[in-house]
Homo-oligomer: A and B are copies of this chain.
Amino acid sequence: MNSVNLKRLAQELNLSIATVSRALQDSYEVSSQTKERVRALAAELNYEPNAYASSLRRNISKTIGVVIPEVNNHFFSLAINGIEEVARQSGYHVLIYLTHDDYEREVAITQYLTGGRVDGLLMSVASGSQEFSHLEKLYASKPAIVFFDRVCEAIHTANVTTNDYESGYLATQHLIEAGCTHIAHLLVSGNLSIGRMRMQGYQAALQAAGIAFDETLVIDGNGDDESNTELLKNLLRSRPEVDGIFASVERLVISSYQACQALGRAIPQDIKIIGFSNLGVASLLAPALTTITQPAYEIGKEAAKILLRAIEKKKAILPSQSLVLKSELFQRKSTEPCG
């Protein structure tokens, strides 16, 4: 209903719509005096081009989509921060979609996005997804896609990830060196590559230390926080020999703390805990939490950069553009050796 459009400007200036349009694009085909007149009136009337008309005509939306499991999570919110930063600098808009780690929702969302609403897509796939035909369909419908963190290997594109195998290895090794011999591994994405990598690192570190792998110590922590905490309490009760926990996702670290608190297990005396986390307050926890921290902001930034470069150059994204950033281990109280 904002009726200040090119036609309106053209009428008031006694020019054609084409000339007004070109003037606003600073085209060489229009004289500088006319440009000035057009710009002046446009500013006065507070003209803003209709994004939909422009997108329709040019087949370019200047919009990217971000599809992630959740936003109330330091990793993803930091990533969004990085994404938004890069997008804003390049004049792109950011649509956000949350899957809540639910396969059905992910399918519905990718279906929407087939309609050409976005020029490109940044995605971290839902842990509930076991099957990826919806992503292949989406990919076939053209938009550039870059996966970050939770990638989909079936799609031939670039991924931005972290050194997950190494991190899993280091985390486990860290617990072993601190004296742990029965280490539980909590994960959420066993069927995703990210989960498998961390798992393999965990297993390799156990093997290197001569500790037998016990798959009953691997807990799948989907579901909500309360049920996860219950799950952990059950584990700790039934397996009192567990003296270390390696949580591969922030939420599970919190649940671990709560389970220990509820059962009166002292950290780090009885149980040591390390986890993937971007919690800013890790050092303020009781006790301070040893974390493996992913460069979430940089991941978002780099993924967005790769995507936007491809969009602007209209070139396909190659797997060779993939990036692996390094996570960092911050040693704190929760894994301190005692006695």
Partner of A48, one of B1, B78, B115: B115
Q: Which of A8-16, A28-36, A89-97, A163-171 contacts B (4 or more CB under 8 A)?
A: A89-97
Which chain A residues numbered 258 to 282 have a C-beta less than 8 Å away from chain B?
258, 261, 279-281
Complex interface: chain B residues within 8 A of A46 (CB): 114, 137, 141
Interface: A192 (CB within 8 A): no
> Which of A67-75, A150-158, A180-188, A201-209 lies at the interface with chain B?
A67-75
Chain B hits for A63, CB < 8 A: 95
| Distance of A55 Cα from B61 Cα, bound (Å) | 12
A46 and B139 alpha carbons, distance in the complex (Å): 13
Which residues 51-73 of A sit at the B interface, judged by CB distance below 8 A?
Answer: 51-53, 55-56, 59, 61, 63, 70-73
Task: Please give the distance in Å from A76's CB to the nearest CB on chain B.
Answer: 8
Q: Which of A52, A59, A96 has the most CB of B within 10 A?
A: A52
A69 to chain B, nearest CB (A): 11
Question: Given A81-B71, A285-B284, do A49 and B115 touch, yes or no (CB 8 Å)?
Answer: yes
Q: Is the CB of A114 within 8 A of B56?
A: no
A105 contact set on B, CB distance < 8 A: 88
Could you say which residues of chain B place their CB within 8 Å of the CB of A197? none
**A59: B residues at CB distance < 8 A:** 1
A320 sits at the interface (CB 8 A): no
Say yes or no for A325: interface residue by CB 8 A criterion: no
Contact B284 A2 (CB under 8 A): no
* Listed residue (A115, A258, A281) with the most chain B CB atoms within 10 angstroms of its CB: A281
- Given the known interface contacts A94-B95, A96-B94, A98-B84, the answer about A117 and B2 at a Cβ–Cβ threshold of 8 Å is no
A142 at the interface (CB under 8 A from B): yes
CB of A117 within 8 A of CB of B51, answer yes
The answer, among B50, B81, B93, for a CB contact under 8 Å with A98, is B81
Q: Assess whether B70 is in contact with A72, with CB atoms less than 8 Å apart.
A: no
Interface centre among A53, A71, A258, A286 (most CB of B within 10 A): A71
Cβ-based interface call for A77 (8 A): yes
Within 8 A of B (CB), among A100-128: 105, 111-112, 114-117
**Chain B residue contacts of A280, Cβ below 8 A:** 254
Q: Does A287 contact B (CB under 8 A)?
A: yes
Residues of B within 8 A of A2 (CB): 114-116, 141-142
A72 CB, min distance to chain B CBs, angstroms: 4
16 contacts between A and B (CB under 8 A): A2-B116, A2-B141, A48-B115, A49-B115, A50-B116, A51-B116, A52-B116, A71-B84, A72-B77, A72-B81, A73-B77, A84-B98, A254-B281, A257-B281, A285-B286, A286-B287
**Which residues does A use to contact B, with CB under 8 Å?**
1-2, 46, 48-53, 55-56, 59, 61, 63, 70-74, 77-78, 80-81, 84, 88, 93-98, 105, 111-112, 114-117, 137, 141-142, 254, 257-258, 261, 279-281, 284-288
